[in-house]
Amino acid sequence: MICQPVCLPTMRRHWLLVGACGWVLLILMFVSKFINFSFRTPGDYAGRSEIFVWTLSSVTTKLPSVVWPEKGASQPYILSSVSPSVVEPIDWHLVNEKRLEQLSTVCSNSSIWNLTHTTVRKFVLDRIFVCDKHKILFCQTPKVGNTQWKKVLIVLNGKFSKVEAIPENLVHDHERNGLPRLSSMTDTEIHQRLNSYFKFFIVRDPFERLISAFKDKFVKNPRFEPWYKHDIAPAIVRKYRRSHHDDSESVGLRFEDFVRYLGDKTGRQHLDRQFGDHIIHWLTYAELCAPCDISYNVVGHHETLELDAPYILKSAGIAGLVSYPSIPPGITRYNRTKVERYFSGISQRDIRRLYARYQGDFSLFDYPKPAFLLN
């Protein structure tokens, strides 16, 4: 069939429309590069993961000190002081120095001395694992990704050749994992190591850490530690649940019961003695690692573990010997939505009491006061 002349304008309009659509698509693809997106990754540590991108429209907007680039980039960056259109990689050594300065400043604050200082006794030394071969001390702070750091030390001590080969059930078996504790050594050996070894530990937003401890021990309990649900939870429920109209045993521990127990300054001490070392999962960082009384070289943050992990390996002189297990981008970052959800319905009095207990941790490690919960 031969198209008549009347068809030609119609065909021309058709191709012009196709061409216009193509240009619109190209423009949208270009513009999308300058739009901020937020996404949440799955998993127990599903943290808030925001991508901040410098655009012309954000010149007049107050920007965060750390700018997280698009997925797959090697590290975040800061805006150049020379030109707002230039970005510079963060010197993580300076980040660590700033954290240590903050730690030193708060440690000297006499008004919260009782919340930040701990005697370096056997309980603290039990938390510190030793790698004599490479002169490293690692203080365990539960619910901040310690399992992976234990694997790193197990490899360094020669028990396994790589972290991927270590069985999960061996990592926390301290009779078989080849990780000696500092408490197992003589006083002379302890002092020598504290004074000369590379020392580090990891912290996390205190309230988000408590949520993780509650989920791990009283909800999921993946390592099958029955004493948390069968012994500790019922004891907390009996003392701190305000309403006993329901069957407390069948309902199980609620987060509000847990918060009430943790915020009871004097009443919880009897239960803590009864629970023994199981309470390490919600003790303060000051109680666990004595950061004001032991001079640590690095304080890593769970929220920036993607940057802290390689920095710690390099600073300890072991970067070429072992690698930290891969971290899904954004999975360790702070998740305010989750915190708000868990604390919704909990009384202001109970939240303030909880904050009073963990105020030292918030201050020592420069975590912002959760005003959205306290006001």
Residues linked to residue 48 through DSSP beta bridges, in sequence order: 40
Poorest-confidence range of 24-28, 106-110, 199-203, 296-300? 24-28
What tens digit of pLDDT does each residue of 39-59 get?
Answer: 333 333 333 333 333 322 332
Which token pair is 14?
């058709």
Residues linked to residue 78 through DSSP beta bridges, in sequence order: 88
Q: Is the pLDDT of residue 315 over 70?
A: yes
Q: Which residue has the tokens 């009871």?
A: 264
Q: Is the pLDDT of residue 3 over 70?
A: no
- CA gap 204, 16 in Å, rounded: 57
Residue 60 burial (CB count, 10 A): 6
Q: What is the pLDDT of residue 128?
A: 98
Q: Is the pLDDT of residue 164 over 50?
A: yes
Which token pair is 29?
């693809």
Q: What is the pLDDT of residue 247?
A: 53
- CA gap 375, 372 in Å, rounded: 6
Residue 288: pLDDT band with limits 50, 70, 90: very high
Q: Coil, helix or strand for 143?
A: coil
Q: Is the pLDDT of residue 4 over 90?
A: no
Cβ-proximal residues to 240 (8 Å cutoff; 6+ apart), any chain? 257, 260, 261, 264
How is the beta sheet containing 128-131 ordered, strand by strand? 128-131, 136-139, 198-203, 298-301
Dihedral sign, Cα of residue 190, residue 192, residue 194, residue 197: negative
Q: What is the pLDDT of residue 294?
A: 98
Q: What is the pLDDT of residue 271?
A: 92
Q: Coil, helix or strand for 103?
A: helix
Q: What is the pLDDT of residue 27?
A: 61
Q: What is the pLDDT of residue 306?
A: 92
Q: What is the mean pLDDT of residues 73-101?
A: 65
Q: What is the mean pLDDT of residues 314-328?
A: 93
Which H helix or E strand runs over 38? strand 38-40
Q: What is the pLDDT of residue 331?
A: 87
What tens digit of pLDDT does each residue of 18-42 get?
Answer: 566 666 666 665 544 444 433 333 3
Residue 242: pLDDT band with limits 50, 70, 90: confident
Q: What is the pLDDT of residue 169?
A: 85
Q: What is the pLDDT of residue 28?
A: 60
Which token pair is 105?
């400043």
Cα dist from 194 to 200, 289, 290, 297, 355, whole Å:
11, 12, 12, 11, 31
- CA gap 272, 263 in Å, rounded: 13
Q: What is the pLDDT of residue 285?
A: 98
Q: What is the pLDDT of residue 9?
A: 52
Rg of the chain over CA atoms, in angstroms?
Answer: 26
Poorest-confidence range of 11-20, 92-101, 126-135, 358-367? 11-20
Q: Cβ(67)–Cβ(79) under 8 Å?
A: yes
Which token pair is 333?
């970052």
Dihedral sign, Cα of residue 336, residue 338, residue 343, residue 345: positive
- Percent pLDDT > 70 in the chain is 73
Q: Cβ(158)–Cβ(133) under 8 Å?
A: yes
Residue 221: pLDDT band with limits 50, 70, 90: confident
Burial of 364 (0-12, 13-18, 19+ CB in 10 A): buried
Q: What is the pLDDT of residue 1?
A: 47
